[in-house]
Amino acid sequence: MKLLITGGAGFIGSHIANYYYEKSHEVFVLDNLVSGYRENIPFIDEKHFFEVDVCDTAKVEEIIKTYQFDVVIHLAAVVSVVDTVNDPLMSSEVNINATVNLLEINRLYNAQLRKFIFASSAAVYGNDPQLPKSIHSMIQPESPYAIQKYAGEQYTKLYHHLYGLPTTALRFFNTYGPKQDPNSQYAGVISIIKRKFENNETFTFFGDGEQTRDFMYIKDLIQGLVCVIDNDCTNGEVLNVGTGKQTSLKDIFHAFEASYNKKIEYRFEPERKGDVKHSVSDITELKDIGYNPQYTISRGLEEYLNS
């Protein structure tokens, strides 16, 4: 199987690339290396790596025409909520327009396509108090990022219903694991806590620390992705990828205390505007096709910290 992963040098993309590479599939990565790192994918040789911006339509078209991929996994995006707030026009070019262009190029020029995956986000749900977050829940975007992700997933869905393209959009919940950059302004909270413990720095809770998230270890995300790619019944669908379990930030912090066998200072700051208080996924549809998350928070943290 021949795969193209846009944004494949980033945290999630590099793990997906490694998974399929180790399964002896032919993996290509397209990444402009703005937030990804070439060293994340040392197993990808130069013939299989394109240092190209996903907004460069002409180059993307040439690549698709030339290589005729079986699977396209579209992760490339402006992933910083702050950046989308500061520059909604630029981020819309990347998060919406480039997605539509990629869909259209595959529709016109890629007869081999078996599956097109678009990476969306649980951010589309916003502060809807209903739990768990179901694919039937109300959509309440709180940022340009969330609106752009929602637009991208709806275009992805539409390209199946209008043109028969085998597409699926996946709403990822809070993913963590090795290669997540703790110094990034959009780093996951788990990687930030890890850095604070390693450096004996003070950790800041925004709010009371009782807010909950559906924390998913990267290997569970990959299992969910594989289920979707291997099942044609997911074509045209939008699906949640999470664990279905919620954990508070305080519980995560205490788990780090136990793992490191030490304590660090912490403080509380006011909640940030737009932050979601509680979030957990309803993964019924994914479970129906064989998805079964394996990593509890304790098991995931143990593997993450020992990686």
Instruction: Please give the positions annotated as active site.
Output: 145
HSE at residue 230, side-chain half, CA atoms within 13 A, is: 11
> CB–CB of 40/179 below 8 Å?
yes
Nearest-angstrom CA–CA distance, 256 and 10? 25
What is the torsion angle, in degrees rounded to the nearest 10, for the CA atoms of residue 181, residue 184, residue 188 and residue 192? 80
Nearest-angstrom CA–CA distance, 68 and 250? 47
Strands (E), 173-236: 174-176, 203-206, 212-213, 215-217
Nearest-angstrom CA–CA distance, 249 and 251? 5
103, 106, 119: which is closest to 158 by C-alpha? 103
Q: In this structure, what token pair is assigned to residue 46? A: 């130069």
Nearest-angstrom CA–CA distance, 125 and 123? 5
- Write the burial class of residue 46 (CB in 10 Å: 0-12 exposed, 13-18 middle, 19+ buried): exposed
Residue type, 97: N
> CB–CB of 185/82 below 8 Å?
yes
**56-to-31, 130, 156 alpha-carbon distances in Å:** 11, 40, 19
The CA R_g of the chain, rounded to the nearest whole Å, is 19
Nearest-angstrom CA–CA distance, 123 and 137? 12
